[in-house]
């Protein structure tokens, strides 16, 4: 397989999933259910059709559990998790080795937007609530709308923001051109969450 030309778009390792983040993923992923405090790895690679074989190779050699495998246009996305951080790291190492890649070859993510809206209008809150899958956005709270590219890196931003601040996870989407995250809380909590999310992305 090493003769194939691979592109590593995303390599996002999470050391300990936070409670809201893990609960959101558990309701969304089709595979094994992730739990809080588990480690997790998201990888996005091209060509997308190879994702099935790459995940299978990793699962045969490590104890991490798969939460997702999906081909989206030309890219494939996979997620694995475990309470054992080394098992999750091992899965990533196996996949990279099979592809002839190194972590340093991943695309560097970019913060596209980090907008705070203070004292959200009741009508605006209801519009967002119609499409959210996390906590309801209450009128009058502050809202962070955070976007990154490549999209799958949004999981790292979401988890680190929850680590850093007492926020509510309203919604996030790690697929498509941009990953998008919605968090709510007090003005000070949201500012702290934004700082943590930006640091997580810019630190890669």
Domain boundaries, the chain: 7-105, 110-202
CATH number of 7-105: 3.30.70.1710
Nearest Cα to 144, choosing from 185, 177, 111? 185
CATH of 110-202, one of 3.40.50.10540, 3.30.70.1710, 3.20.20.150, 3.40.50.10490: 3.30.70.1710
Task: Tell me whether the CATH fold assigned to 7-105 matches the one assigned to 110-202.
Answer: yes
Residue-wise pLDDT tens for the chain (204 aa)?
444 689 999 999 999 999 999 999 999 999 999 999 999 999 999 888 899 999 999 999 999 999 999 997 778 999 999 999 999 999 999 999 999 999 999 999 999 999 999 999 999 999 999 999 999 999 999 999 999 999 999 999 999 999 999 999 999 999 988 999 999 999 999 999 999 999 999 999
Q: Cα(66)–Cα(59) distance, rounded to whole angstroms?
A: 8
- The pTM of the whole model exceeds 0.75: yes
């Amino acid at each position: 397989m090493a003769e194939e030309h691979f592109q590593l778009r995303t390599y996002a390792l999470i050391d300990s999933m936070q409670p809201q983040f893990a609960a959101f993923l558990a309701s969304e992923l089709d595979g094994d259910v992730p739990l809080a405090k588990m480690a997790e790895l998201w990888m996005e690679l091209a060509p997308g059709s190879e994702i099935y074989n790459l995940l299978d190779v990793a699962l045969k050699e490590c104890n991490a559990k798969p939460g997702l495998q999906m081909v989206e246009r030309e890219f494939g996305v996979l997620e694995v998790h475990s309470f054992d951080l080394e098992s999750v790291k091992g899965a990533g190492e196996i996949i990279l080795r099979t592809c002839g890649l190194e972590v340093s070859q991943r695309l560097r993510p970019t913060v596209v937007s980090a907008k705070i809206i203070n004292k959200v209008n009741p009508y605006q809150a209801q519009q967002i609530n119609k499409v959210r899958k996390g906590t309801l956005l209450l009128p009058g709270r502050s809202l962070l709308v955070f976007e990154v590219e490549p999209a799958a890196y949004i999981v790292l931003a979401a988890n680190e923001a929850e680590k850093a601040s007492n926020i509510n996870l309203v919604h996030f989407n790690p697929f498509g051109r941009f990953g998008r995250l919605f968090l709510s809380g007090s003005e000070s909590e949201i500012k702290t969450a934004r700082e943590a999310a930006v640091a997580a992305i810019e630190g890669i």
